């Protein structure tokens, strides 16, 4: 038996704030809501839901898992993310290039520009 990933869950103290940020950034709508839980649309056809779970403690350390998003231009994507409440976490780097950003509660994510011919 092979498990299926049904949700990618982001812990947060304010699910409304964080879900609104991610929904606007990715152009995704809310599909479910509970007292301490919000679901956005699936991450692609047949993919897992992007979900936000309320937790009592604020984020304190680096995420052990994060989302990488392929974009045509990390600078343009970064400016849009900044308008929505994200902050950059360092400068662009690598041959891709890529840049780490923080959502409104400090959860890391990356904008990545795939190099031609690398298959990503």
pLDDT in tens, 7-54: 999 999 999 999 999 999 999 999 999 999 999 999 999 999 999 999
Q: The tokens of 52 are what? A: 């936000």
Distance CA 65, CA 53 (A): 15
pLDDT (0 to 100) of residue 119 = 46
**Do residues 67 and 8 make contact, with C-beta atoms less than 8 angstroms apart?**
yes
**Do residues 105 and 13 make contact, with C-beta atoms less than 8 angstroms apart?**
yes
pLDDT (0 to 100) of residue 95 = 78
pLDDT tens-place string over residues 65-110: 999 999 999 999 999 999 999 999 999 998 789 999 999 999 999 9
pLDDT (0 to 100) of residue 96 = 81
């Amino acid at each position: 038996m092979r498990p299926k990933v049904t949700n990618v869950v982001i812990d947060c103290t304010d699910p409304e704030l964080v879900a609104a940020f991610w929904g606007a950034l990715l152009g995704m709508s809310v599909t479910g809501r509970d007292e301490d839980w919000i679901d956005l649309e699936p991450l692609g056809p047949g993919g897992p839901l992007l979900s936000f779970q309320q937790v009592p403690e604020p984020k304190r350390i680096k995420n052990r898992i994060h989302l990488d998003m392929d974009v045509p231009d990390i600078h343009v994507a970064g400016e849009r993310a900044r308008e929505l409440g994200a902050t950059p976490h360092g400068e662009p780097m690598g041959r891709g290039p890529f840049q780490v950003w923080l959502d409104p509660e400090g959860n890391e994510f990356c904008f990545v520009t795939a190099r031609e011919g690398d298959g990503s």
